[in-house]
Amino acid sequence: MNISLPTASGQLEIYTLKGEPLSAAPAGSRFNRIAYSAAHVVADPRSAGELNQSPAIDWERTIEYRRYLINQGLGIAEAMDTAQRGMGLSWDTARELVERTMLETSDLPGALIASGCGTDHLELHSALSCDDVIRAYATQLEAIQRTGSRVILMASRALVRAARSREDYVRVYREVLGMCNQPVILHWLGQMFDPELKGYWGTENLDDAADACLEVIGESASKVEGIKISLLDDAREIAFRRRLPDGVRMYTGDDFNYPSLIKGDEAGYSHALLGIFDAIAPAASRALAALAEGDVKTYDRLLEPTVALSRHMFRAPTQYYKTGVVFLAYLNGFQPHFFMLGGHHGARPPLYLADVFRLADSANLLRDPDGAIQRMRLVMQTLGCQP
């Protein structure tokens, strides 16, 4: 099975597929790590309007994909940045997404769903004070808790705008956590994922930021189930993990170094809340099942080839990683088109897409190679990259 693909030299080369599709772990497999996949949304190209209009979602395929992930033993981190939150997905649509996911997966035993609570409905020019931010968090928190979903307390662009000091961050989180009806997962999203979060926790010094974050957790440890850190720095995550209070979990959001962080060391390990799990679900499912059985060799063998794919998908500018995630879902036949909210299907060049194809094949993640070749040819033709 061959296909012509662009190369870094600007030429086309014949690429021969070599992968063998992976299947998920057997039904009923147990994991010894909690693993959330931040899931993408499927756009509806037939109903899409202009970029300043409400996003059009293919609800049937969006929910089908979540059921697919759950059936592989993964939890769903709903309405997060993988779902283009703040990059095409508005709060009104995110709220509907959470409601639909909770309702339409309720028949799946043990489905684990946590949803992103932020302040993105608050226009930045209206974030005049920390009280404005607290009220914005409260609005979304009430809506999400009403559905029965667990909560992921997302980082807030508005808080960056309104806060004047570390103490402001501590106060805002103290008050918002006090409103939560069950322990939540905090989310420290680095500026490589969202440049507008530069200086989060009141400082650009990451050591001082870690101290501020740990102060928030220490003050309200009974309201914090865990924290997801997305800084793409494994040493920093490990150091932070070792300072967490007893009972507070670390969820890795490091899409560069997740295999070793999940596997852990003599002092502990990280659970997972990862965008890349959307793209590598079969490998993640089988690897986590192997890890639970103490089969570290199989765990490493399954996840090692996915790292090159993940590092490519999440390369700078990192915030456009969603394009790679959705493209692979298209290649694998989970959606009949490569169209995204906000026009983000055009956010990466043809060579990037070609390398997603190559690396997914190397990681055994093209579930129907013949179909993937056909879809790849269609896209490459429209981009002028087929002979």
What tens digit of pLDDT does each residue of 356-387 get?
999 999 999 999 999 999 999 999 999 999 87
Write the DSSP symbol of residue 248. P
Mean pLDDT of 200-206: 97
> pLDDT band at 28, cuts 50/70/90?
confident
In the chain, the number of structural domains is 2
Tokens of 140: 């979304």
Q: Do 350 and 312 have their domain in common?
A: no
**190 close to 230: Cβ distance less than 8 angstroms:** yes
Q: Do 262 and 140 have their domain in common?
A: yes
**62 close to 84: Cβ distance less than 8 angstroms:** no
**13 close to 4: Cβ distance less than 8 angstroms:** yes
**In the predicted structure, residue 270 carries a pLDDT above the cut 90:** yes
Contact residues for 183 (Cβ-Cβ < 8 A; gap 6+): 222, 223, 224, 225
Q: Do 178 and 272 have their domain in common?
A: yes
**In the predicted structure, residue 24 carries a pLDDT above the cut 90:** no
Q: Do 218 and 280 have their domain in common?
A: yes
**365 close to 280: Cβ distance less than 8 angstroms:** yes
Among residues 286, 304, 319, which one ends one of the domains?
319
Sign of CA dihedral 169, 171, 174, 175: negative
Mean pLDDT of 92-100: 98
Question: Does the residue 22 lie in any domain?
Answer: no
Question: Does the residue 164 lie in any domain?
Answer: yes
**In the predicted structure, residue 25 carries a pLDDT above the cut 90:** no
Among residues 299, 319, 339, which one ends one of the domains?
319
Question: Does the residue 268 lie in any domain?
Answer: yes
For residues 339 and 344, give the distance between their C-alpha atoms in angstroms, rounded to a whole number.
8
> pLDDT band at 85, cuts 50/70/90?
very high
**In the predicted structure, residue 52 carries a pLDDT above the cut 90:** no
Enclosing domain of residue 269: 31-319
What is the structure's pLDDT at 137?
98
Q: Do 103 and 150 have their domain in common?
A: yes
Query: In this predicted model, what pLDDT tens digit does every residue of 107-121 receive, in sequence order?
Result: 999 999 999 999 999
> pLDDT band at 231, cuts 50/70/90?
very high
Can you state the angle between helices 296-313 and 321-331, rounded to 10 degrees? 120
Question: Does the residue 24 lie in any domain?
Answer: no
Residue 56 burial by Cβ neighbours in a 10 Å radius (0-12, 13-18, 19+): middle
**387 close to 2: Cβ distance less than 8 angstroms:** no
What is the structure's pLDDT at 295?
97
- Of 17-31, 126-140, 179-193, which range is least confident? 17-31
Residue 349 DSSP SS3? coil
Q: Do 304 and 287 have their domain in common?
A: yes
Mean pLDDT of 172-184: 98
* The one-letter amino acid at 11: Q
* The one-letter amino acid at 66: R
- The model's pTM: 0.96
What is the structure's pLDDT at 9?
94
Q: Do 178 and 222 have their domain in common?
A: yes
Share of the chain above pLDDT 90, in %: 96
* The one-letter amino acid at 283: A
Q: Angle 329-16-297 (CA atoms, 0-180°, nearest 5)?
A: 70
Q: Do 132 and 169 have their domain in common?
A: yes
What is the structure's pLDDT at 342?
95
Q: What is the CATH number of the domain that holds 192?
A: 3.20.20.70
**In the predicted structure, residue 21 carries a pLDDT above the cut 90:** yes
Q: Do 164 and 282 have their domain in common?
A: yes
Tokens of 124: 């930045």
Beta bridge partners, 43, equal 57
Among residues 290, 319, 348, which one ends one of the domains?
319
> pLDDT band at 26, cuts 50/70/90?
confident
What is the structure's pLDDT at 272?
98
**284 close to 252: Cβ distance less than 8 angstroms:** no
For residues 239 and 241, give the distance between their C-alpha atoms in angstroms, rounded to a whole number.
5
Write the DSSP symbol of residue 26. P
Question: Does the residue 300 lie in any domain?
Answer: yes
Strands 2-6 and 12-16: antiparallel
Averaged confidence pLDDT in the chain? 97
Q: Do 229 and 356 have their domain in common?
A: no
What is the structure's pLDDT at 176?
98
